[in-house]
Amino acid sequence: MNLTNHRFTDLFAQLGLPDHPEEIRHFIWQNSPLDPALRIDEAPFWTPAQARLLREELSANADWAQLVDQLSNALRVAYVPEDRE
């Protein structure tokens, strides 16, 4: 069993996206809310390679799946950055 603990920033790095917490918040703000009818890998803002990575991690129930689920949940709400409240 792989007991590797990954962080949200690690997922963004795997996706080839900026992985600083401020940049992650901006990405979520910019791309939310995601249509509840879409699977996360179907979102229009992913490159084909990013969508494939997300799909593979979820289908394999890989150690990244929990973080992919967290990202999916974060994208499904209307995100308001702290400095815009």
- pLDDT digits 0-9 by tens, 44-66: 999 999 999 999 999 887 788 99
Number of domains in the chain: 1
Residue 79 in contact with residue 30, Cβ under 8 Å?
no
- Indicate whether 38 belongs to any domain: yes
Alpha-carbon gap, residue 20 to 42, rounded angstroms: 24
pLDDT at 3 (0 to 100): 45
Residue 3 maps to a domain: no
Round the CA-based radius of gyration of the chain to a whole number and report it: 13
Residue ranges making up the domain that contains 67: 8-79
The verdict on residue 57 lying in a domain is yes
- Inside any domain, residue 59: yes
Which residues are CB-neighbours of 76 under 8 A, at least 6 positions away?
A: 32, 33, 34, 36
CATH for 13: 1.10.10.1130
Q: pLDDT digits over 60-84, tens only?
A: 877 889 999 999 999 998 655 665 5
Assess whether pLDDT exceeds 50 at residue 20: yes
| Interval 6-16 mean pLDDT | 95
**What 3-state class would DSSP assign to 47?**
coil
Domain annotation covers residue 84: no
Q: Which amino acid is at 16?
A: G
